[in-house]
Amino acid sequence: MVPGMGAVATTFMAGVEAVRRGIAEPIGSLTQMGTVRLGKRTEGRSPKIKDFVPLANLKDIVFTGWDIFEDDAYESAMHAGVLEKDLLKKIKPFLKSIKPRKAVFDHEYVKKLDGTHVKKGKNKRDLAEQLRADIRDFHKKSKVDRLVMIWCGSTEIFLKQGAVHESVAAFERGLLKNDDNIAPSMIYAYAALMEGIPFANGAPNLTVDLPVMLELSKKNYAPIAGKDFKTGQTLIKTILAPGFKARMLGLNGWFSTNILGNRDGEVLEDPGSFKTKEESKLSVLEHILQPELYPQLYKDFYHKVRINYYPPRGDNKEGWDNIDIFGWLGYPMQIKVDFLCRDSILAAPIVLDLVLFLDLAKRSTELRGLGIQEWLSFYLKSPMTVPGLYPEHDLFIQLMKLKNTLRHLRGEELITHLGLEYYD
């Protein structure tokens, strides 16, 4: 179930169908192509992840979604322009069958968008109940066994945690009073968690980073993960920055700018929505480099992020990075990165993996009652943690955490990479 049937969602849906038909490969999906080493290196045991843990099969996935526009998945995918028309035509009947439900939407939270395919209700509690009715309707009509919801909608304006988010009781009072601090994405999360359905947040919105959502997640055994899909420029940062830190190379500054022309770029033209995205992107380097531990290397480094809407580029985002580092005896060096990426192509396999892993977590007696699934940080720019625990942003540590979680679930020995036993 996908709130927001735009470029990311339709690329995900079309991609899954193309893979199911054998006309494409699931490139970028760890669940479909990745392996997990078991035991010692000398044992040669490295099964595919999908064969090691009981993940849902791609052929069993059924889709629904919500959007402020009435376009079905085929029309939306054609409009997004991410995938080639020839590919979309091969799976046109499938995509045409996925029609969006009316969305919960408020222009005040995404000022650059407006649509007419929108639910109406006497208050936000009424809208939440309408979403819960949609969920039950889809569950019944699709005849699926389990459900997962993943937010692929737009970036909302910047909001801070407040009193209305402190408990379920406070939140429900806020729904009745149409509290301004309750954004549409929070209403979706509330509806899903009330139904006991796992929820992942693919945008930098506050959404589930709230005490009320953690309370519901634990109470109803509905795992949560967020936030903001790790694609493009931030992916590169979480690859490069750990390397600088590992080699004790200093950083004077990191200037990042992007151009993109999709709906996401248009939304981020609004200062309120950009503030939400900026907060998500800026936190990465601080947590990886830990300037409080390495002041000679990383104290007061300059970090700037810009995003510019440029319609001709469409979904093909371009990210430039200028990185000023210094090495032995303080001598300066520079690194330039020009990443011509495809935002939705990078995001789609993340959506697939999060859906499959959250479904696995829901079925795991060890994971489903934890609430936050920190082991899924690998996929997210601003990983959720319990209050007071700093997030781990290093991509390679995140991957180790994810694979060790899978090993733990299957009763296999955890991999530490110590390796001394090979030399006894």
> What is the tens place of the pLDDT at every residue in 225-234?
989 999 989 9
Beta bridge partners of 3: 66
Nearest-angstrom CA–CA distance, 123 and 74: 32
Nearest-angstrom CA–CA distance, 193 and 372: 12
Task: For the chain, give the mean pLDDT.
Answer: 95
Would you say residue 415 lies in a domain? Answer: no
Domain boundary among 281, 313, 340: 340
Question: Which residues lie closer than 8 Å to 77 by C-beta, 6 or more apart?
Answer: 7, 10, 11, 13, 14, 83, 88, 95
Beta-strand ranges (E) seen in 136-185 are 149-151
> What is the tens place of the pLDDT at every residue in 185-230?
999 999 999 999 999 999 999 999 999 999 999 999 999 998 999 9
Are 325 and 337 within 8 A, CB to CB? no
Domain boundary among 287, 316, 340: 340
pTM of the model: 0.95
Domain total in the chain: 2
356, HSE (Cβ side, Cα atoms, 13 Å):
25
> What is the tens place of the pLDDT at every residue in 253-303?
999 999 988 777 778 788 877 787 777 667 899 999 999 999 999 999 999
* Encoded tokens for 34: 């990745």
178 and 277 fall within a common domain: no
Beta-strand ranges (E) seen in 152-262 are 199-201, 224-226, 250-260
240 and 334 fall within a common domain: yes
Domain containing residue 402: 2-229+345-409
Domain boundary among 297, 321, 340: 340
Residue 160 has phi, psi (to 5 degrees) of -110, 155
159 and 297 fall within a common domain: no
89 and 204 fall within a common domain: yes
Q: What is the CATH number of the domain that holds 97?
A: 3.40.50.720
Using CB atoms within 10 Å of the CB of residue 190, give its burial: 0 to 12 exposed, 13 to 18 middle, 19+ buried: buried
Closest listed residue to residue 347, CA positions, set 80, 42, 49 = 80
Nearest-angstrom CA–CA distance, 158 and 206: 8
The percentage of residues in the chain with a pLDDT greater than 90, rounded to a whole number, is 88
Would you say residue 270 lies in a domain? Answer: yes
145 and 255 fall within a common domain: no
Long-range contacts of 130-139 (CB under 8 A, 24+ apart): 130/104, 131/66, 131/104, 131/187, 131/188, 131/191, 132/191, 132/194, 132/195, 134/64, 134/66, 134/101, 135/1, 135/191, 135/192, 135/195, 135/197, 136/195, 138/1, 138/64
Report whether pLDDT(138) > 90.
yes
Would you say residue 419 lies in a domain? Answer: no
pLDDT value at position 279?
75
